[in-house]
Amino acid sequence: MRINHTGEICAQALYAGQAATARNPEVKDDMQKASDEEIDHLAWCEQRLEELDSRPSLLNPFWYASSYAIGAIAGAAGDGWSLGFLKETENQVEAHLQDHLDQLPPEDARTHAILGQMKIDEAKHADMAEDAGAFDLPAPIKDLMSLTSKVMKVVAYRI
């Protein structure tokens, strides 16, 4: 759950960074809306962490700052690429959430409900990006994103 919480910090920061450098005002709005919805997800994860007597990652300020910077760079690359980046992020988050849902004990209904709703919302974000004209990112960039999120998961699990 700490990984999910850090993931939502990253998503929120990425999209805020992307909104800051977006060119088209509609794309800026879409990015900002997605970023705001990630804040809801963040609140749900934070609450669940507390209920489980756990704590968020101590490195969250670092995750936020680096994600915001990456988002701003993605935004500066142009709206089509930036939307493509958002879509790919959401696709990878959805796959991770499905993975986590598969591993959850079936009796943990509360976590199931939270992750299930998040997965629905992330799919909507990906569709939004697609409808707004997302470019398909080159495979090496997708691989790099997936590698980065793997590093984040390993570190956030521990610290």
Which stretch, 8-16, 51-59, 66-74, 139-147, contacts Fe ion (CB under 5 A)?
8-16
**Restricting to residues 10-29, which ones interact with Fe ion according to CB under 5 A?**
11
- Interaction of residue 119 with Fe ion, rule CB under 5 A: no
Which stretch, 24-32, 65-73, 125-133, 150-158, contacts Fe ion (CB under 5 A)?
125-133
Using CA atoms, how far apart are residues 99 and 17, in angstroms rounded to an integer?
27
- Interaction of residue 41 with Fe ion, rule CB under 5 A: yes
- Interaction of residue 88 with Fe ion, rule CB under 5 A: no
Written as one string, the DSSP assignment of 6-24 is: HHHHHHHHHHHHHHHH-SS
- Interaction of residue 38 with Fe ion, rule CB under 5 A: yes
Using CA atoms, how far apart are residues 104 and 82, in angstroms rounded to an integer?
33
**Count of positions on this chain that bind Fe ion (CB under 5 A):** 6
Contact, 23 vs 67, CB < 8 A?
A: no
Shortest Cβ 151–Fe ion spacing (Å): 19
Burial string for 17-28 (b: 16+ CB within 10 Å, else e) reads: bbbbbbeeeebb
Using CA atoms, how far apart are residues 30 and 124, in angstroms rounded to an integer?
11
With both helix axes pointing from N to C terminus, report the angle between 109-131 and 2-21 in degrees, rounded to the nearest 10: 20
- Interaction of residue 125 with Fe ion, rule CB under 5 A: yes
Using CA atoms, how far apart are residues 99 and 93, in angstroms rounded to an integer?
10
* Closer by beta carbon to Fe ion, 31 or else 72: 31
- Interaction of residue 87 with Fe ion, rule CB under 5 A: no
Which stretch, 24-32, 78-86, 103-111, 117-125, contacts Fe ion (CB under 5 A)?
117-125
Residues that bind Fe ion (CB under 5 A): 8, 11, 38, 41, 122, 125
